[in-house]
Amino acid sequence: MSTGSAAAPRRQGRGVPAARGGRRAVFADRDGTIIEDRHYIADPADVALIPGSPEALTRLRTLGFALVVVTNQSGIGRGLYTLADYRRVAAETDRQLKRAGIVVDATYFCTDAPGGDPRTTCRKPSPVLYRQAARDLGLALAGSYFVGDKLSDVLPAATLGGTGILVRTGHGASEEARAREDARATQEAGTPREARMAGAAKVADEAETADEASLARKSGREAGCLVADDLAGAAELIERLES
Ligand SMILES: [Mg+2]
């Protein structure tokens, strides 16, 4: 684990295979994906589930996926709120999900502020927390799904061999627009990150018309992603891809 980061896996009673390459997971971002993005949430009173998100998680659990929340919490690294604040918000999120009938397998968070060493930070799109989750819970990263409202949530799919799904809640709609703009701006040449974002936008464009299952497989190889309106839409898409 890199300096300045922290992870708090909370194992639940459900058994997961101990072997590497075991159970597949849906890795879901928190803010803007499961709960409303209230911009550096530090107060449990600000936690509000996005409508349909607990039902979506339940649907994914029924399909047999492990459910792992992976969240960047740079507000801690920036000094905007404390680790204790984060834990209170996380507990309230879990409480509301549990009340709606779903308990996730684990939650991992990264406290790093942006601008750290990209080789060591746990901040998404770093694969660090996903790999830790895979070790802790015996998960197969290849074939897993990476869902969130920012490209940094879906780009790890390219590194780890899964499928990314950008949701349009939270920052998702603007991220989609930005990715499409980047795709145009970097058509000739770009930095690796910009090129990956361009790839994501390219596949998202195609997803509206072409065969989605084929695109999902392609996305695992080429850093693309699919797009859904929200987590409920992502769950529906995953169910179709898995059928
Ligand atoms: Mg988010």
Q: Which domains are present in the chain?
A: 23-167+228-242 (3.40.50.1000)
Report the separation in Å between the CA atom of 30 and the middle of ligand 1, taken as the mean of its atom positions: 6
Distance 149 CA to ligand 1 centre (A): 5
Among residues 31, 37, 112, 182, the one annotated as catalytic is 31
Beta strands (DSSP E) in the chain are: 23-28, 66-72, 106-110, 139-148, 163-167, 225-228
Ligand 1 centroid vs 19 CA: distance in angstroms? Answer: 30
Residue 63 phi/psi, 5-degree rounding, is: -75, -10
Distance 171 CA to ligand 1 centre (A): 7
Q: Quick one: pLDDT at residue 161?
A: 87
Tell me, in angstroms, the distance from the centre of ligand 1 to residue 32's CA.
4
| pLDDT score at 177 | 83
pTM over 0.85: no
Please give the pLDDT value at position 200: 55
pLDDT digits (tens, 9 = 90+) for 176-211: 887 777 666 655 545 555 555 555 555 454 444 444
Tell me which residues of the chain have a pLDDT lower than 70.
1-21, 182-224
pLDDT of residue 216: 43
CA nearest to 45, candidates 95, 109, 105, 8: 95
Nearest residue to 159 via CA among 141, 175, 147: 141
Tokens, residue 96: 């509301």
* Total residues belonging to the chain: 243
The Å distance, Cα 74 to ligand 1 centre, comes to 12
181 Cβ contact partners less than 8 Å away, ≥ 6 residues apart: none
How much is the pLDDT for 176? 84
Task: Determine whether 229 is an active site residue.
Answer: no
| Residue 205 near residue 25, CB atoms below 8 Å | no
pLDDT digits (tens, 9 = 90+) for 11-44: 433 433 333 559 999 999 999 999 999 999 999 9
Catalytic annotation present for 31:
yes
Catalytic residue among 29, 37, 105, 149: 29
Q: Residue 48: what pLDDT?
A: 98
